[in-house]
Chains A and B, each alone.
Chain A
Amino acid sequence: MKPFAYTRAHTVWDAVAAVSAEPGARYLAGGTEMVNLVREGQESPDRLVDIGDLPLTEVRVHGRGVRIGALAKRVHEHPEVRRRLPVLAEAGLSAASPQVRNVATPGGNLLQRTRCHYFRDVRFPCNRREPGTGCAALRGVNRNNAIFGGSEHCVAVHPSDIAVALTALDAVVHTHGPAGERVIPVEELYRLPGDEPNRETVLDHGELIVAIDVPPTPFAARSHYLKLRDRASFAFALVSVAVALDVRAGVTHDVRIALGGVAPRPWRARAAEDALRGRRFDDDARAAAGEAATTGAKPLPHNEFKVELVRRAVVRALSEVEGR
């Protein structure tokens, strides 16, 4: 572990200025991810700027939806989130363990790094960690890797559960950066690896997430998060599905379907949405959506099973939400 400086920021402006000023500076929120990365050597910052004191902890419901502060803890327990945004509450509850959830923040969750074994184990080459060294996952054990959106340089999966739910809710993040404020749809926060897997997000250096906005939509209230994993709790998704549905008179008026555990970012299954939109919401439509959700899948030697799991999980998530 490389020595680093530690400072606490008291205002958003201070924080942005401190990190922007130094290429080796990084934000520290709950630290459940950053501290591990520093200890294990995937990150070796010169400075950590602790943003834990910033006033970004509120969950607020207003005319334009729900605003979630970047440092709000245990958002999934918030009664308005549970009522208005079930998919987000379920995704939040399914992430990590109670102990981790007590300190983890939504901003940190969105910006956690991949759990790809070969990224995490610094003894292996990894283009995401060290550009140009190669991708060990392609030839290694790639059971947990991507079936969508990968490239010949990287097949890592983004591990966040809430990012998948937020994508299905058309949520956006608000940022403050050296160049000012901006708004970015959660889905577009992440870059696909292409030939630059080390550039994971569209954020500039020093750009701070201050809040997540979930707009009022007709599909948010009838939404659901389904997560498949290797044990009943405290494990990352093999495959997860967030669905949000607006069915009127038995016909799907609008729908969002996002997949987790299968791509370098939350994966909007647009073909599956199209298979439902404007049609009767019945078994046939759900089966067609499941099939469509696998469009474009490019499985690796050890994760072919994910394709079938995606199909089945989408069908299941849609049947589960129907009862709501």
Chain B
Amino acid sequence: MSRPTKAPDKAPDRITTPITGGVGESPLRPDGTLKVKGEFAYSSDLWMDDMLWGATLRSPHPYARIVSIDLSGAWQTPGVHTVMTYDDVPGEKLFGLEHTDQPVMAHEVVRYQGEAVAIVAADHPETARRAVDKIVVEYEVLEPLTDAEEAVFATDAPTLHPGGNLVRHLPIRRGDQHATADVVVRGEYEVGMQDQAFLGPESGLAVPAEDGGVDLYIATQWLHVDQKQVAKCLGLPNDKVRLMLAGVGGAFGAREDLSMQVHASMLALRTGRPVKIVYSREESFFGHVHRHPAKLYYEHGATREGRLVYVKARMFLDGGAYASSTGAVVANAATLGVGPYEAPNVTIDCWGAYTNNPPCGAMRGFGAVQAAFAYESQMDRLAAELGLDPVEVRVRNAMAEGTTMPTGQVVDSAAPVAEMLRRVEAMPLPPAAPTDSYDLRELPGGVSNTTHGEGVVRGIGYGIGIKNVCFSEGFDDFSTARVRLEVIAGEPTAMVHTAAAEVGQGLVTVQAQIARTELGVERVTIHPADTQVGSGGSTSASRQTYMTGGAVKAACEKVRGLLLDIARERLHVEGQLHLDGGKIVSDRHGVLADLAEVLGDEVIDETVEWRHRPTEALDPTTGQGFAHVQYAFAVHRAVVDVDVDLGLVRVVALDCVQDVGKAINPDAVVGQIHGGSAQGLGLAVMEEIQVRDGKIRNPSFTDYLIPTILDMPPMKVDVLELADPHAPYGLRGVGEPPTISSTPAIVAAIRAATGLAIPRCPVRPEDITGTA
């Protein structure tokens, strides 16, 4: 269980800062102060004195045949240690999360702008970049395929991959496929391509090891899935590719796929030197997958009382050049495509396609975001058609515990959708738009001095979202936790060791809280996450507190059981014992002894693999099956002031109700809700990777805009705790739901203010001024 002897500077160390507080409290995060003070070591800070720097040559074309590659210029650059291409990949040449379809470096053809073509290691990052510039690639440029619908259906579309352009088509068929209804509303919706916009660019350090393997320090979301792919591509057994989690500066899905992991490892193994790669900000926009842009066609049929009779939908998700997690994103969009509503008859088809656009994959909300924008827009249309209030129409159709989902799955834990809607509706509204305000920050346009109240119209909108938590469709989803209990310097100390990635969400704090609660010890240290322990699974799908939290809890229970066995033996007592505040307590005799006394020199070190209840695959023709472990819900009410003349929007309030089952760390829960809501606000009014002819137009934070503090209102957050009996502590995944519902709520509010249809997000000024 030791770490490599030669660890780089700025690699995460064991967390020994005391994290006081158990489950349900909000202890300070050990990384919080460091991050605020700029002292936290991120993966881009990793350092070894003898390291080389890697750089990547990328395709300027979205689709082209590689005619020739001339590396001589790079080789001749002084300071360059090696130059490598596809031909140098030692093991498998392809990798991928769900489908192995992506070459480690381009081979014969490039399928998206920014695809890696060659890599260089040099003694200085600038030398490496200059050497990359000297590589001459002759391309035969091809016409890119840039439309997902065309990719699937156009007969004359080029075939981008051997199996065709379809990554996955999932139909959902439930009930009467020919149902008719009194009231019918139809809509076509579009969601732009959002970026995760994490702040720490892709980076890591590969260190060649004496056994011929490699030690890779890396910012990732899932160490073991990286390990598996990297080992295959290097042609090494898994145990020769050891990964250590480096400081992660945000992830949001963008670190689920490999970026520079194989490249740095190849360069390190070839040169025998540690190699560090850090993407620039611009490169980062080409270095990770984005949220699938979507085109969605919906039709809702309802009774005159506003009860849904049927929902029909056709959705197209643009997966870009490689599959990444498109298949799972398709499943989410399709299975959650009705939203948190009861609909007896459902006809949904969702297609995920290959195109020559930037690859798309995991991003917070994962397919549920795109669907929610459409189904919530439809619910508002239905309300308008029936003359009903938007909350009323939602409440009339709200799902609840016991509802049968479009997949046939019966919801078997709390689903308080109607109550959540009523609660958010009952929250106090912000005061009316100021008409004589001189605090310009309170008005659309903010400090841009666009208005002092004239032209401003207020609108209110609601959005509710549903998300599956954990991995679905029969995936063997587990997490591993190792817990070690021993007495150090007279004090009982627990050490928690998992491979679960802390990406900023607060997992290390939660792990310590759980150990404190379960073992009743004050001192808990957290071992750095690495592959020396079993997989923790991905930090995605809102699953880590559930899964790794569950594993830590289970490992602690096992350790506690063993400790109590020792206690029974040493104290010669029988029957029920428990741990309380560092004491061994018996029901009958009260406090018996100190934990430290009982444990003595003994070390209890247990590792547990923990699984959630199994799920099933979906039937490929009907989409039926018990596919999801848990459902989570958030509802937002957005209040906006729109300057209708100038097309400017100010979100005045964005209040939220979310059921979290059990708030393991209430501050962290609220933090997730704030952050998720802000990310949804970004998608509603500004965030979009602009792609034209397969090329990204705005790969910078000057041009890809994310909300600032002036765009984001203070939020009222109401956290419900309705325990899920299947989950540890009854908890429900928290991270994704608020991202899903805030976008449709804000767009609904803009529609309410302007009376416009607004079928697309993000909403730009010209969509409001009607002069687009």
Please give the residue numbers on chain A whose beta carbons come within 8 Å of chain B beta carbons, in ascending order: 1, 40, 90, 93-94, 115, 117, 120-121, 123, 140-141, 224-236, 238, 304-305, 307-309, 312-313, 316, 319-320, 323
Contact = CB atoms under 8 A, between A and B. Distances in A.
B432 to A, nearest CB: 20
Contacts of B272: none
Nearest to B133: A41
A162 B316 CA distance: 45
Contacts of A307: 771
Contact of B765 (A224, A232, A305, A323): A305
Given A1-B130, A141-B690, 15 more contacts: A1-B129, A93-B447, A120-B700, A120-B703, A227-B448, A228-B448, A228-B646, A230-B764, A231-B705, A231-B708, A305-B771, A308-B769, A309-B647, A312-B646, A316-B455
6 contacts: A1-B126, A117-B698, A121-B699, A231-B686, A232-B711, A308-B769
Given A1-B129, A312-B646, A226 B450 contact: yes
Q: Which has the most chain B C-beta neighbours within 10 Å: A1, A120, A230?
A: A230
A4 to B, nearest CB: 12
Contacts of A227: 445, 448-450
Interface in B410-465: 441, 445-452, 454-455
Contacts of B24: none
A76 to B, nearest CB: 11
B114 to A, nearest CB: 10
Given A226-B448, A307-B771, A309-B771, A238 B702 contact: no
A224 B766 CA distance: 23
A49 to B, nearest CB: 22
List of 3 A-B pairs having minimum Cβ-Cβ separation, nearest first: A232-B446, A305-B766, A305-B771
Contacts of B451: 316, 320
A97 to B, nearest CB: 8
Given A227-B450, A231-B705, A305 B769 contact: yes
A158 to B, nearest CB: 16
Contacts of B708: 231-234
Given A117-B697, A228-B646, A312 B769 contact: yes
Contacts of A312: 645-646, 769
Interface of B: 60, 126, 129-130, 282, 441, 445-452, 454-455, 645-648, 650, 685-686, 690, 692, 697-700, 702-703, 705, 707-708, 710-711, 764-766, 769, 771-772
A141 B697 contact: yes
B449 A141 contact: no
Contacts of B646: 228, 309, 312-313, 316
B450 A305 contact: no
A90 B449 contact: yes
B526 to A, nearest CB: 34
A230 B765 contact: yes
Q: Which has the most chain B C-beta neighbours within 10 Å: A234, A236, A238, A305?
A: A305
A316 B129 contact: no
Given A231-B707, A305-B769, A140 B448 contact: no
Contact of A231 (B452, B690, B700, B711): B711
Contact of A228 (B129, B450, B690, B772): B450
B126 to A, nearest CB: 6
B758 to A, nearest CB: 15
Contact of A309 (B282, B698, B699, B765): B765
A309 B769 contact: yes
A90 B452 CA distance: 14
B766 A316 contact: no
A59 to B, nearest CB: 21
Contacts of A313: 450, 646
Contact of B771 (A40, A231, A233, A304): A304
Contacts of A229: 448
A308 B445 CA distance: 17
Contacts of B710: 231-233
B139 to A, nearest CB: 13
B445 A228 contact: yes
B702 to A, nearest CB: 7
A302 B686 CA distance: 17
A316 B450 contact: yes
Contacts of B282: 40
Contacts of A230: 686, 705, 764-765
Contact of A225 (B441, B449, B686, B765): B449
A232 B447 contact: yes
A236 B448 CA distance: 11
Contacts of B130: 1
A115 B448 CA distance: 19
Contacts of B698: 117
A304 B710 CA distance: 28
A164 B697 CA distance: 26
B646 to A, nearest CB: 6
Q: Which has the most chain A C-beta neighbours within 10 Å: B447, B452, B771?
A: B771
A88 to B, nearest CB: 13
B452 A320 contact: yes
Contact of A123 (B60, B450, B705): B60
A320 B445 CA distance: 13
B433 to A, nearest CB: 15
A315 B441 CA distance: 21
A316 B645 contact: yes
Contacts of A319: 454
A154 B772 CA distance: 22
A196 B103 CA distance: 44
Contacts of B126: 1
A307 B766 CA distance: 11
A233 B645 contact: no
B764 A232 contact: no
Nearest to A224: B449
A115 B697 CA distance: 12
Given A140-B692, A309-B765, A312-B646, A232 B771 contact: no
A217 B698 CA distance: 41
Contacts of A309: 646-647, 765-766, 769, 771
A69 B591 CA distance: 78
A308 B768 CA distance: 12
Q: Which has the most chain A C-beta neighbours within 10 Å: B60, B130, B449, B692?
A: B449
Contacts of A40: 282
A120 B764 CA distance: 23
A121 B702 CA distance: 13
A309 B764 CA distance: 13
A235 B705 contact: yes
Q: Which has the most chain A C-beta neighbours within 10 Å: B126, B450, B700?
A: B450
Contact of B703 (A90, A117, A226): A117
Q: Which has the most chain A C-beta neighbours within 10 Å: B448, B452, B697, B708?
A: B448
Contacts of B455: 316
A235 B708 CA distance: 10
Nearest to B710: A232
A228 B447 CA distance: 10
